[in-house]
Amino acid sequence: MPIVYALAILLVSITVLLGLPQALDVAQTQIVAKGLPNNTVYAQNDRPQVAGTKRVNLTPQSLGLEAPVISATAALVKDLDADFLLFVKDPNKRVPIASTTKIMTALVAANYYQADDSLTVPKSALVEGSNMGLEEGEKLTFRSLLYGLLLNSGNDAAYTLAKNYPGGVSTFVQEMNQQSLKLGLINTFFDNPAGFDSPSHFSSAFDLAKISAIASENPTLARIFATKEATVASSDNSQVHFLKNLNRLLDLPGVLGVKTGTTPAAKENLVTLLARDGHRILIVVLGSDDRFGETQSLINWTFDNFIWE
């Protein structure tokens, strides 16, 4: 009998030891974040869950209500689970997309970097426009830079990610375009990782919807898209960055991000993922005079006009 007890204790000890690295990894990947869909601080790889995210693959039926008139140059509303377009306005038109570019930037970076990879901020990454407040020589984890990229829409974070990539910015942007080709996006081309205006930097509502849908399937990116506020620090804790998501629609029930963008040429842009009543709706508004108001109008119209049977 003592031998049986000893074997049982040994097995329990081995199980605990094997599970310890995973438990430590969860602890080390916590980040101070506020404003997730249920106000919980999640571990790195947890996907945010809110009421209404259980997927329903029913075909939407229109009640014939007139769609809102919007100023946006291009737009679409898509039921992701039914793979059904509910609304379109010039969905294939090539337009500047400002910082919605950073959805692809995040995808390419996430395919290469690991969460705790340490990256150094070069002076050349401190570019103009929106930023997360990085300083030359500062070291941060990839995960921290992702928060600055997607909440504050940090151009400095975008260029830090690109400049630390093998081959630098040019190779990083080439990979952005390679990913576009793999996805069959014929109306998309990138020439920088931040979304600066350029004649050779554009996408379409249809293409951007496809990029965003894929990005939203990444648990890490989905979590960050839905985060309202976060605090990240440099590796030595000498610099602390208080980040706030620029997306005002995160206060609406079921809104899970995804990304804002604005430049003089692109005007106001917004990609929105909504989970409500079991339906995942993706809305892209590009070249708008009122991205938040027009997106909200499209949300209201979608749930007033469609029933799922």
Ranges 7-16, 27-36, 237-246, most confident: 237-246
**Which CATH superfamily groups domain 52-308?**
DD-peptidase/beta-lactamase superfamily (3.40.710.10)
**Predicted pLDDT at 41:** 29
Distance of alpha carbon 155 from alpha carbon 232, whole angstroms:
16
**Predicted pLDDT at 309:** 80
Assess whether pLDDT exceeds 60 at residue 29. Answer: no
Assess whether pLDDT exceeds 90 at residue 25. Answer: no
**Predicted pLDDT at 135:** 97
93 has catalytic annotation: no
Q: Which helix (H) or strand (E) holds 307?
A: strand 306-308
Assess whether pLDDT exceeds 50 at residue 254. Answer: yes
Interval 38-72: pLDDT, tens: 322 222 334 444 444 455 567 899 999 999 999 99
153 has catalytic annotation: yes
Interval 142-151: pLDDT, tens: 999 999 999 9
238 has catalytic annotation: no
Interval 81-103: pLDDT, tens: 999 999 999 999 999 999 999 99
Q: Tell me, what DSSP letter sits at residue 89?
A: E
User: Per-residue confidence at 34, pLDDT binned at 50, 70, 90?
Assistant: low
**Predicted pLDDT at 15:** 38
Distance of alpha carbon 243 from alpha carbon 83, whole angstroms:
34
**Predicted pLDDT at 56:** 58
DSSP string, 52-88: T-S---PPEEE--PPPPP---SEEEEEETTTTEEEEE
Assess whether pLDDT exceeds 70 at residue 131. Answer: yes
Assess whether pLDDT exceeds 50 at residue 183. Answer: yes
**What mean pLDDT do residues 204-232 have?**
97
Give the tokens for residue 50: 């809110």
Distance of alpha carbon 148 from alpha carbon 230, whole angstroms:
9
Interval 273-291: pLDDT, tens: 999 989 999 999 999 999 9
Consult the annotation and say whether 259 binds a ligand. yes
pTM listed for this prediction: 0.84
Length of the chain as a residue count: 309
Per the residue annotation, which of 102, 163, 210, 267 is the catalytic one?
102
Tell me the average pLDDT of the chain. 86
Domain ranges of the chain: 52-308
Per the residue annotation, which of 78, 89, 99, 163 is the catalytic one?
99
**Predicted pLDDT at 18:** 37
**Predicted pLDDT at 201:** 98
**Predicted pLDDT at 142:** 97
Q: Which residue has the higher pLDDT, 287 or 2?
A: 287
Q: How far apart are the first and last CA of the chain?
A: 63
Per the residue annotation, which of 89, 130, 144, 153 is the catalytic one?
153
